[in-house]
Amino acid sequence: MSLSSREVPVAERLQDAYRSGTPPTFTLEQITELYALACSPPEQYGRPISQWTPQELADELIQQQIVDSISVRHVGRLLAEAELKPHQSRYWLNPLPTQRSKPKLKTSVRFINKRPHQPSRVS
């Protein structure tokens, strides 16, 4: 007697199907640590560099014992897969101090207030 799909426990239905090939080398937590590291300033970890490179990230992951070993090329692939570009993180994650202090709203309000008033036309 076989069980219908309604009688199969939920836990069994949610199990991943067997997949051939090598199992993943790194856990999701390790990859998340890489992404967090790539989005933080290297100075925070005592690195004398202004931006992360895949080599520096691989070295830091090993130094912090997040992974036993990882190739520079694999770090680059993981970053590309997530569309992370650590060399550009200063622009979107950490704006320069001068960019933080500029009031952008005043410029647009000034522009709006200087437009001449044009009455609406009714046909």
Q: Each residue of 7-58: pLDDT tens digit?
A: 888 888 888 788 788 888 899 999 999 999 998 999 999 999 989 999 999 9
For the CA atoms of 93, 96, 100, 102, what is the dihedral angle to 10 degrees?
A: -140
With 80 as the cut, is the pLDDT of residue 66 above it? yes
Mean pLDDT of the chain: 78
- Sequence-distant (6+) residues with CB within 8 A of 58 are 70, 71, 72, 75
Q: Which whole number is the average pLDDT over 88-107?
A: 52
Give the pLDDT confidence score for residue 123 in this predicted structure: 55
Which pLDDT does position 71 carry in this prediction?
96
Q: How much is the average pLDDT of 68-75?
A: 96
Question: Alpha-carbon distance 93 to 88, whole Å?
Answer: 9
pTM for this structure?
0.57
